[in-house]
Amino acid sequence: MELSTISAINFLMLNQTVPDFQLPATSGKTFQRSYYSGKYLVLYFYPKDSTPGCTTQGMQFRDAYAEFQAKNTEIFGISRDSLKSHENFKAKFSFPFELLADTEEAACTLFNVIKMKNMYGKQVRGIERSTFIIDANGTLIKEWRGVKVDGHAAEVLSFINSL
């Protein structure tokens, strides 16, 4: 599915099939949901590369990466940052998973994670920290919204382990 088509789709709901969208990824790759058929996917949306909360979140997913892999699960971090920013962020903290650049907010729109937020007393549009689990058949089976960073990766891993 083309990125321009995604914006015309209604927001995803639990137990719906996730469209076969594409986004540019780090390491010179392109993410396409159908490439991971037969695997569980963790898509975590975060506001901004190299900020304290986003760094902590990425490091917690990094530290649990082998456990996710042992459960047939791939992890992808998504923000509106550029690929160049993502490459630097990934390299600096040795993330073993790819980061996806959603500069046009296509996936952000599909998963309904763009919200109005208060920043220094001003209303700004930004990503609400959120995580989604897609099953091996491409169905959205779990979501967390308004995520608190500390311990979240462990909570996601616990859910994967319960499947």
- DSSP-derived secondary structure letter, 12: P
- Angle of the 52-63 helix axis to the 83-93 helix axis, nearest 10: 60
Angle at alpha carbon of residue 68, lines to 139 and 89, rounded to 5°? 95
In 2-97 the beta strands, taken as DSSP E runs, fall at: 22-24, 30-32, 40-45, 73-79
Q: With 0-12 CB in 10 A as exposed, 13-18 as middle and 19+ as buried, what is 23?
A: buried
Known catalytic residues?
54
